[in-house]
Amino acid sequence: MKTVAELNAARAAALKKIVLRKADEVIAKQVQSDYKYTVLVCGGTGCTSSHSTDIVEKLKEEIKAKGIEGDVQVIMTGCFGLCALGPIMIVYPEGCFYSMVEIGNIPRIVEEHLVGGEPVRELLYKETVAEDGSIKSLNETNFYKKQIRVALRNCGVINPEDIYEYIAVDGYQALAKVLTENTPDEVIKIVTDSGLRGRGGGGFPTGRKWALCAPNKAPQKYVVCNADEGDPGAFMDRSVLEGDPHCLIEAMAIAGYAIGATKGYVYVRAEYPIAVNRLAKAIEDARKAGILGKNIFGTGFDFDMDIRLGAGAFVCGEETALMTSIEGNRGEPRPRPPYPAVKGLFNSPTVENNVETFANIPQIILRGAEWFASMGTERSKGTKVFALGGKIEHTGLVEIPMGTTLNDIIYEIGGGIPGGKKFKAAQTGGPSGGCIPASLIDTEVDYDNLVSIGCMMGSGGLIVMDEDTCMVDMAKFFLEFTVDESCGKCTPCRVGTRRLLEMLEKITDGKGTLEDIDKLEELCNYIKANSLCGLGQTAPNPVLATLKFFRDEYIAHVVDKKCPAGVCKSLLSFTIDKDKCIGCGKCAKNCPNDAIVKTDYVAPGHKLPSYTIINDSCIKCGACMAGCKFGAISKK
Amino acid sequence: MEMLNVKVNGIAVSVPKGATILEAARKAGVEIPTLCFMKEKNEIGACRICVVEATGARGLVTACVYPVTEGMEIQTNTPKVRAARKTTLELILSTHDQNCLSCVRSTNCELQKLCLEYGVDSKAYAGFKPTYELDYSVPHLVRDNNKCILCRRCVAACNEQYVSVIGANNRGIDTCIGHPFDMPLGDTSCISCGQCTVVCPTGALVEHDDTDKVWAALADPTKHVVVETAPAVRATLGECFGMPIGTNVEGKMVAALRRLGFDFVFDTNTAADFTIVEEATELLNRVKNGGKLPLITSCSPGWIKFCEYYYPEYIDHLSSCKSPQQMGGALIKTYWAEKMGYKPEDVFVVSIMPCTAKKFEIERDDECAAGAGNPDVDVVLTTRELSRMINRAGIQFTSLPDEDFDPALGVDTGAAVIFGATGGVMEAALRTANDVLTGKDNENLVFEEVRGTAGIKEATYTIAGLPVKVAVASGISNAKVIMDKIASGEADWTFVEIMACPGGCVNGGGQPIQPQYVRDTVDLKAERAKALYSQDEAMTLRKSHKNPIVAEVYKDFFGGDWGCHKAHEILHTSYVKRDKFHH
Amino acid sequence: MLKKVSTIPHQGTPEQAQRLAEVIAKYKHDKSNLMAVMQEAQAIYDYLPIEVQTEIARGMDVPLEKVYGVATFYAQFSLTPKGETHISVCLGTACYVKGSGDIYDRLQEELGIGGDECTPDRKFSLTACRCIGACGLAPVLTVNDEVYGRLTADDVPGIIAKYN
């Protein structure tokens, strides 16, 4: 593709491939589809883990057997978002949503739906089938209806391994537009006006970041994409890479044009093999198509990019550490200033953004800054992708306008807490973040609101916790993570986080004192103020946030020597209700430490004597309770 | 240059754009503590001890790397700053072996000094503390990671020496400074230069202490215990006793050595004059006979080891001359022992050196002129170890009278004195070569182009109508530049001087430890070298070949001219190719 | 993070050495490729013993200490060989709250090895990993590339038996 005209011709030709999926658009009426049916199977990591590749094989086999290969297009897409219901499959033109698909169902779906033309209603996601049997579109379900997909717009819609499908959905039009219609400064202005802020955590305005780098002269400047998504429970970036890799390429080329860089690096976790392979193929295809390389679209602009694989170090999500790592070193952060805009990768001016930030760029260019700024809140524009996890019905990936309340996210979109349990808190920002307690469930989620309550947006992991979660234990979990991931360079983080963890362990072991809580808080504040990089500076946040909202739980651990949620083993005691115990002895058999013995007491209505637990011998493993069918054992 | 106006604790100063808060504070006369910082060498902002408050910056910032901005107001001594520094020290102490009382670095430890100043509670934070075995695998130093504070100054020093056998391993609380696969230092391609020991703020890297061997020899009535002292030691020993940097304490040093009980006190400078005449002869022979050129000096055992490990194909460029230390020992155990009627095995030679690699050098093969099993030098003490012996013996160093070396091997020349500074060997050689080639006693003694502390110096001199191209390098990174040019064939030098330590022996790995703020603000290499150059200037004998002992020994003992067979047997050595990846 | 170094002697084949040499040749023009070389070397050998790291240092012309420093910094690099069956337990948040810690403990108990270790017969090795993105199936573990989800500690013996 040497010119924009060729790009447009390719788009027109490719539309036939994807038109079935655009059922609600005008264009669908003008273009004749190549196929009668399009079957999209989720090929994201979640669904692949539940064998969606086997499903595709089986589908192809059955379709071949029925001789309808010419009519049915089977595509593996990126993530649809509703991971809890995987493996997921959608059939167009109806847009039927099959959830938790099993291989055994495939012959029936092929036979009845793809041959017979009648969707298999009982295998569809229950929410999409109305009482009268009519089938609702996916977008009408609770999970999707409040979502607005900008960064994820192509995820689960196109074949990520086919550059022409991307081109068909206006891919590379934004790049063509800036190269032919805008000066670099204009591009920066559009991004600035859109109000887009960095989606990686800190929320630094993207346009300003580009503007700081653009004027710096150097023989070589760089655009770096941070795809080292490392927060436990977060997989937003992976989904974009898996579902829409060309979008990232396009955005990085636009950034390169804006700041005067001709070389890009994507630093992506090696733990994301599907994402890496799709991105590598996308880069290769873009090069072959002439969209990466020299003289792109005949405009004289050169841009190329490479992938560098991370190797399992959370700290490499910090921008200077990431660059140190790309340079082939231990991924230790460097002091700032100098900022990367001045002295970044290989000591050259560099712009670094994360995947989701970049994923917004092409749409901002095509639809305008105003359109983007019309979504969201006053200071947080656009949408944000969240990975919902923990104690929530619909584990998965959602993209919602900034300012959506936590309540809507958890109950409307996420389907609430399983098992009728009570919502306790939501954790955002992973190990750098804090938690939002139930009392603040009506908080409108945006950068500034979260910061104001001592939390942070982070990259978008949102872990829901219910009444069974001990907040001290949760803080300890995140501290364990940061202690493990501390790079070891600066004293406050290397030694300080370890000491924090030890204090937390003392508390959850029931050996803490009120004084320890004060000392804990003091050390947290010290580490925040004194650490070299963002990892250390935010490492105490989970402790500080839980201290702020759940101090009573800490106090219960140190004063009452109790864990209110019944999690911290050292503080638990198991008891057998002698009147409920029928004396079957299963608990005694299960006990690995012979801590359960028979008593002389026979409860009224029972024949055998009841059992009791010797507290000194009990190791609090819970095996007795798990095995008791009569609910006679409780912990507190 | 654009200047920025800032205030440090209310004191107004003006500093160039790009200056750090630390630089501004130093200009204002305000000292900010540092631990990891080494100017231009280790600007990593890791230890966090130098935090200060500054307007326009969020929270605390590290003064060592944070650039000032116009109008910035810096506060270095607020309650917040003091509390932060105190906690940092307490956290460091929680992983530090606090067995400080008899630590070699006690009273000279940068951590100890700060702990005292900040009144830290040494037991404020208890918890997991990694423990490490001590590494005694090399003759020149001992590594005790239990005292390491992970400032990485040693790593920076080792990287600057291009050797990089020491670095940070593992991660988080388990991060430790060490070698690949935790192998002992002795299995690595360490060149023994000891620069790591000079920059270590604590007792994690210290010279291997050999003083007990010397005390034992001194107490042994059957031994004639002889000491020789390197040129650079007299320029620095005074620092160990609080004297100003650059004080020449030759006379007091000799007096102290006598009081310690050495039977004879000789000067390695005398041996250095032998080195010059032998090396000059070797050079002229190579030029005449088409031998390997450039000829490269061999005085620095750290450099020799580097060449053997990293440029093994080029060891035939090295002069076969033993180093002055080894020539000194060899002459003592052969010529002098014979003259005194002592059996060589009854002579115990101690050398006082600015160098840790010398401890390695005495164990090399082909360094036993008096016979196999009898090393030319028995024990090497660094300047630092000597100062400890002087203290232990209760000698009031600064009040000592000046005394002279024993004359048998204690007469020297100005040429030998300047061996202690980079370019000194070259200049000494040029003085002799000039006379030999012109057949005259030339007045010209100063070769300015090879003086000074620059890492690489090049010059072309015309001697007897012939152009002589020379190069001088100090510090291994610079040596590498020279070697790469030789390897690529683009070099056309005749003679090259290389010293392993930046600035030469005055800045050797065995020299007195100056805290980093001194190293950052004083050019130690230059100040110490001054003491040597001014001694040279004041001397009447300033050319090696004019040393009367040289003439006497060749005539009476070697029975021949410079480079004769017997001189060769006693004063020359050989080298081995080493594999830097052989473990 | 303290890397465990295997004491099991390294055995490499000439084919592996040849492949490593090719990898080094491909990347040696640019020292910043060190990690990529190490990643590909680990793909060849499963782990990075001293023999392999030495070859990398020699080929890329970097100090061995640098290679080792990098190898011990990143969780991905292993200094112990993998067993024929490699079990990896997800300790990401979602899995953790659903009890993956108990599963990990149980595996250590049943296999008689610690985390990041290999059984002396090289049959099993065990490690913990961060979120693998299968949170919908939490708690999960992977055996070689096979994912097992929605587990309890009591499923552990059965899984081990399947591969023994």
How many Å apart are CA C128 and CA C141, to the nearest integer? 9
Q: Where are the beta strands (DSSP E) in B414-464?
A: 456-463
Nearest to C97 among A45, A312, A469 (CB): A469
Q: Tell me which residue has tokens 């050196």.
A: B353
Q: Which of B174, B207, B240 is the last residue of a domain?
A: B207
Distances in whole angstroms, Cα of residue A279 to Cα of each of A257, A268, A275, B494: 21, 10, 6, 57
Nearest to B171 among C58, C65, C72 (CB): C72
Domain A35-141: CATH superfamily, name plus number: Glutaredoxin (3.40.30.10)
Q: What is the pLDDT of residues B197-211, one digit of tens each?
A: 999 999 999 999 999
Distance of CA A507 to the CA centre of its chain: 31
Report yes or no on C18 lying in a domain.
yes
Residue A255: pLDDT above 80?
Answer: yes
- Among A358-372, A598-612, B235-249, C54-68, which is the least confidently predicted range? A598-612
**B105 and B40 fall within a common domain:** no
**Are the CB atoms for C46 and C6 separated by under 8 Å?**
no
Work out how many domains chain B is built from and give that number.
3
Q: What is the pLDDT of residues A434-466, one digit of tens each?
A: 999 999 999 999 999 998 888 888 888 899 999
Q: What is the pLDDT of residues B532-566, one digit of tens each?
A: 999 999 999 999 999 999 999 999 999 999 999 99
Nearest to A494 among B65, B83, B172 (CB): B172
**C33 and C62 fall within a common domain:** yes
**Are the CB atoms for B386 and B233 separated by under 8 Å?**
yes
Q: What is the pLDDT of residues A472-482, one digit of tens each?
A: 999 999 999 99
In this complex, do B180 and C65 lie within 8 Å of one another by their Cβ atoms?
yes
Q: What is the pLDDT of residues A77-131, one digit of tens each?
A: 998 888 888 899 999 988 899 999 999 999 999 999 999 999 999 999 988 898 8
Q: What pLDDT sits at residue C154?
A: 92
Q: What is the rounded average pLDDT for all residues in chain B? A: 96
Distance of CA B400 to the CA centre of its chain: 26
C43 close contact with A: CB closer than 8 A: no
To the nearest whole percent, how much of chain A has pLDDT over 70? 99
Q: What pLDDT sits at residue B503?
A: 97
State the nearest Cα–Cα gap between A84 and chain C, in angstroms: 4
Chain A residues inside the 8 Å CB shell of B45: 334-335, 490, 532
Q: What is the pLDDT of residues A216-230, one digit of tens each?
A: 999 999 999 999 988
Residue C136: pLDDT above 70?
Answer: no
Residues of chain A with CATH 3.10.20.600: 383-466
Mean pLDDT of A353-364: 97
Overall pTM surpassing 0.90 (yes/no)? yes
Around Cβ B244, how many Cβ atoms within 10 Å?
8
Residues 6+ apart with CB under 8 A from B54: B21, B61, B66, B68, B72, B73, B74, B75
Mean pLDDT of B27-36: 97
C137 close contact with A: CB closer than 8 A: yes
**B474 and B542 fall within a common domain:** yes
**Are the CB atoms for B378 and B353 separated by under 8 Å?**
no
Residues of chain A with CATH 1.20.1440.230: 471-560
Q: What pLDDT sits at residue A138?
A: 82
Tokens of A432: 């750098």
Report yes or no on B580 lying in a domain.
no
Q: What pLDDT sits at residue B409?
A: 95
Report yes or no on B578 lying in a domain.
no
Q: What is the pLDDT of residues B361-389, one digit of tens each?
A: 999 999 999 999 999 999 999 999 999 99
C61 close contact with A: CB closer than 8 A: no
Stretch (H or E) spanning C89: strand C85-90
Residue A567: pLDDT above 80?
Answer: yes
Q: What pLDDT sits at residue A399?
A: 95
User: Among 3.40.640.10, 3.30.70.20, 3.40.50.1100, 3.30.450.30, what is the CATH number of A573-635?
Assistant: 3.30.70.20
Q: What is the pLDDT of residues B421-448, one digit of tens each?
A: 999 999 999 999 999 999 999 988 899 9
State the nearest Cα–Cα gap between A232 and chain C, in angstroms: 5
| 3-state SS class at C112 | coil
For the domain spanning A383-466, the CATH number is 3.10.20.600
Q: What is the pLDDT of residues A229-250, one digit of tens each?
A: 888 778 889 999 999 999 999 9
Angle (CA) B461-B466-B472 rounded to 5° is 35
C34 close contact with A: CB closer than 8 A: yes
Q: What pLDDT sits at residue A616?
A: 85
State the nearest Cα–Cα gap between A260 and chain B, in angstroms: 25
The residue that leads in pLDDT, A454 or A12, is A12
How many Å apart are CA B147 and CA B135, to the nearest integer? 12
CATH architecture label of A163-373: 3-Layer(aba) Sandwich (3.40)
First to last CA, chain A: 68
**B58 and B112 fall within a common domain:** no
Q: Tell me which residue has tokens 């399947």.
A: C162
Residues 6+ apart with CB under 8 A from B486: B294, B314, B317, B493, B496
C162 close contact with B: CB closer than 8 A: no
Residues 6+ apart with CB under 8 A from A8: none
To the nearest whole percent, how much of chain B has pLDDT over 70? 100
Q: Which of B77, B109, B137 is the last residue of a domain?
A: B77
State the nearest Cα–Cα gap between B88 and chain A, in angstroms: 7
For the domain spanning A471-560, the CATH number is 1.20.1440.230
Report yes or no on B261 lying in a domain.
yes
How many Å apart are CA C54 and CA C62, to the nearest integer? 10
How many Å apart are CA B202 and CA B249, to the nearest integer? 27
**B169 and B234 fall within a common domain:** no
Q: What pLDDT sits at residue A23?
A: 60
Domain carrying residue C131: 85-163
**C30 and C96 fall within a common domain:** no
**Are the CB atoms for B257 and B218 separated by under 8 Å?**
no
Stretch (H or E) spanning B486: helix B476-488
Mean pLDDT of A542-571: 94
Q: Where are the beta strands (DSSP E) in A276-339?
A: 293-296, 301-310
State the nearest Cα–Cα gap between C109 and chain B, in angstroms: 24
Residues 6+ apart with CB under 8 A from A218: A348, A349
**B226 and B102 fall within a common domain:** no
* CATH number for the domain that contains residue B72: 3.10.20.740
Q: What is the rounded average pLDDT for all residues in chain A? A: 93
**C95 and C157 fall within a common domain:** yes
Q: What is the pLDDT of residues B149-196, one digit of tens each?
A: 999 999 999 999 999 999 999 999 999 999 999 999 999 999 999 999
Q: From the candidates A318, A343, A489, which should be mutated to test the interface with B, based on the most B CB atoms within 10 A?
A: A489
What is the DSSP secondary structure assignment for residue A225, as one 8-state letter? E
Work out the pLDDT band at B329, boundaries 50, 70, 90. very high
**Are the CB atoms for C71 and C79 separated by under 8 Å?**
yes
Report yes or no on C147 lying in a domain.
yes
Nearest to B171 among C5, C64, C73 (CB): C73
In this complex, do A502 and B45 lie within 8 Å of one another by their Cβ atoms?
no
Tokens of C32: 């910043």
Residue A496: pLDDT above 80?
Answer: yes
The residue that leads in pLDDT, B477 or C137, is B477
What residues 62-91 of chain C have any CB closer than 8 A to a CB of chain A? 66, 69-70, 73-77, 91
**Are the CB atoms for A622 and A562 separated by under 8 Å?**
no
Q: What amino acid occupies position C134?
A: A
Report yes or no on C1 lying in a domain.
no
**C66 and C115 fall within a common domain:** no
Work out the pLDDT band at C134, boundaries 50, 70, 90. low
Chain A residues inside the 8 Å CB shell of B159: none
**C25 and C50 fall within a common domain:** yes
Q: What pLDDT sits at residue A331?
A: 97
Return the CA Rg of chain B.
25
How many Å apart are CA A242 and CA A78, to the nearest integer? 5
Longest dimension (CA), chain B: 77
**B409 and B430 fall within a common domain:** yes
Mean pLDDT of C11-24: 96
Chain C residues inside the 8 Å CB shell of B181: 5, 50, 53, 68
**Are the CB atoms for A634 and A573 separated by under 8 Å?**
no
Q: What pLDDT sits at residue C137?
A: 74
Nearest to B88 among A330, A492, A528 (CB): A492
Q: What pLDDT sits at residue A26?
A: 65
State the nearest Cα–Cα gap between B162 and chain C, in angstroms: 9
Q: What pLDDT sits at residue B369?
A: 96
In this complex, do B91 and A499 lie within 8 Å of one another by their Cβ atoms?
yes
Chain B residues inside the 8 Å CB shell of A487: 171-172, 175
In this complex, do C64 and B182 lie within 8 Å of one another by their Cβ atoms?
no
Residues of chain A with CATH 3.40.50.11540: 163-373
Around Cβ A480, how many Cβ atoms within 10 Å?
17
State the nearest Cα–Cα gap between A210 and chain C, in angstroms: 25
Nearest residue in chain A measured CA to CA from B20: A337
- If you write DSSP's letter for every residue of A554-597 in order, what string do you get? HHIIIII---TTS--GGG--EEE-TTT-----HHHHH-TT--EE
Phi-psi region of A414 (alpha: psi -120 to 50; beta: other; left: phi over 0): alpha
**B62 and B116 fall within a common domain:** no
Q: What pLDDT sits at residue A44?
A: 86
**C54 and C107 fall within a common domain:** no
To the nearest whole percent, how much of chain A has pLDDT over 90? 75
Chain B residues inside the 8 Å CB shell of A495: 91-92, 94-95, 125, 173
* CATH number for the domain that contains residue B237: 3.40.50.1780
Mean pLDDT of A389-398: 91
Domain carrying residue B16: 3-77
Mean pLDDT of A402-431: 93
Q: What pLDDT sits at residue A346?
A: 97
**Are the CB atoms for A199 and A361 separated by under 8 Å?**
no
Q: What pLDDT sits at residue B265?
A: 98
